[in-house]
Amino acid sequence: MGNITLRNVKKSFGNVVIIPDINLDIEDGEFVVFVGPSGCGKSTLLRLIAGLEDTTSGVISIDGRDVTGEAPAKRKLAMVFQSYALYPHMTVAKNIAFPLKMAGEDKATIEKKVGDAARILNLTDYLERRPGQLSGGQRQRVAIGRAIVRQPSAFLFDEPLSNLDAALRGTMRLEISELHHQLKTTMVYVTHDQIEAMTMADKIVVLNAGNIEQVGSPMELYNSPKNLFVAGFIGSPKMNLVAGAPAEKLGAKTIGFRPEHIAISKTDGEWKGTVGVAEHLGSDTFLHVHTDALGTVNVRASGEIQVSHGDTVWLTPDPNRIYRFDAAGLAV
């Protein structure tokens, strides 16, 4: 089981309030991603759940048991750190075996569990090596191995892929998702990379300045952002947000439309503009178009479009996919 509940959790360091007041329910077996810009409190929130930081007030429960005052070791959680945090003086086998040794498991059980974890993570050939002799991806796998052998009630990941190169990040993302399907254990994952959030999560928690802006499935957040912050944060490239006359025409303070919801034409459309930069990726074409009416607009067109710097184009937004926000920044 791995239900995690946070009730009125607050955290401050001296006079600096990091998390003003958070309530959150994480269901057993869910893959929950905390996402937000740097300094939004997502890592602090994870560390509060782990017990590595003390809450200023509020209650954290795991499976209905109040663990607020409990030491990290007693919470039955496993954590994977950004820096891997492997024990440099131990071999891979000993690193993975460490939590089992601390739990007082017997030698045969330890050997079996380490072997199983190594098989799942393709580490069997590296068991006698030390962390210093492994690549970044292998080190991260060892860190995951150390987490899974304990069969914890939940896994906590603190930006585990941010030290890896782009290609490896993609592979590891898949591996972690597959591991989740295989183990069906609750996973709480912190990242600032919204692609990771969108692709891996069952539920995304968007944080900003220590507050939860919105909780929902990736598609809920994409299709119905509650406010300007979520609208601007979720989606890549970012949603175009326009204030002023075009918004007022639609009865809103600000309107937003995603780059992929704009039709592009060389002959006619709603807004005329000039292409500033055209990025041709083959599968997609990203355009930065300077318009008189809206300023610079990001456009994402599927496939290859033959336009380049200086060309005149016409843009038309999908009328059904225009988001409207009021003066307080809330979705109308």
Partner 1 sequence: MARAVTTRTKAINTAVAWTIALVIFFPILYTIITSLKTESEAIAGFNLIPSFTIESYIAVQTQNDYFKPFMNSVILALGSTVLALIVAIPAAWAMAFSPTKHTKDILMWMLSTKMMPAVAVLVPIYLIFLRTGLMDTRIGLTVMLMLINLPIVVWMLYTYFREIPGEILEAARMDGASLWNEIVYILTPMAIPGIASTMLLNIILAWNESFWTIQLTTTNAAPLTAFIASFSSPQGLFWAKLSAASTLAIAPILIMGWFSQKQLVRGLTFGAVK
Strand pairing partners for 273?
Answer: 291, 313
CB of 282 to partner 1, least distance (A): 37
Residue 103 within binding range of partner 1, rule CB under 8 A: yes
Residue 83 within binding range of partner 1, rule CB under 8 A: yes
CB of 71 to partner 1, least distance (A): 7
Q: Is 265 strand, coil or helix? A: strand
Q: Is-contact 259 267, C-beta < 8 A? A: no
Q: Is-contact 11 60, C-beta < 8 A? A: no
Return the amino acid letter for 70: E
Tokens for 145? Answer: 């191995």
Residues 60 and 205: their CA atoms lie apart, in Å, by: 17
CB of 44 to partner 1, least distance (A): 13
Residue 322 within binding range of partner 1, rule CB under 8 A: no
Q: Which is closer to partner 1, CB of 80 or CB of 305?
A: 80
Among 65, 89, 184, 290, binds partner 1 (CB under 8 A): 89
Part of the chain binding partner 1 (CB under 8 A), chosen from 35-43, 96-104, 275-283, 309-317: 96-104
Residues 124 and 130: their CA atoms lie apart, in Å, by: 13
Among 1, 102, 263, 281, binds partner 1 (CB under 8 A): 102
Burial of 43 (0-12, 13-18, 19+ CB in 10 A): buried
Residue 52 within binding range of partner 1, rule CB under 8 A: yes
What is the footprint of partner 1 within residues 53-82 (CB under 8 A)?
71-73, 77-79, 81-82
Binding marks (x or -) toward partner 1, 125..154, rule CB under 8 A? Answer: ---------------------x---x----
Closest CA to 298 of 312, 283, 285, 311: 285
CB of 88 to partner 1, least distance (A): 7
Q: Is 319 strand, coil or helix? A: helix
Residues 72 and 51: their CA atoms lie apart, in Å, by: 5
Tokens for 51? Answer: 């017990």
Among 6, 19, 45, 50, binds partner 1 (CB under 8 A): 50
Q: Residue 65 CB: number of other CB atoms within 10 A? A: 12
Q: What share of the chain is helix, strand, coil (3-state, %, to 5)?
A: 30, 35, 35
Give the chain's end-to-end CA distance (angstroms, integer). 39
Among 23, 87, 124, 308, binds partner 1 (CB under 8 A): 87
CB of 144 to partner 1, least distance (A): 12
Part of the chain binding partner 1 (CB under 8 A), chosen from 23-31, 98-106, 184-192, 260-268: 98-106
Q: Which is closer to partner 1, CB of 100 or CB of 289?
A: 100
Q: Which is closer to partner 1, CB of 88 or CB of 282?
A: 88
Q: Which residues bind partner 1 (CB under 8 A)?
A: 50, 52, 71-73, 77-79, 81-83, 85-89, 98-99, 102-103, 146, 150
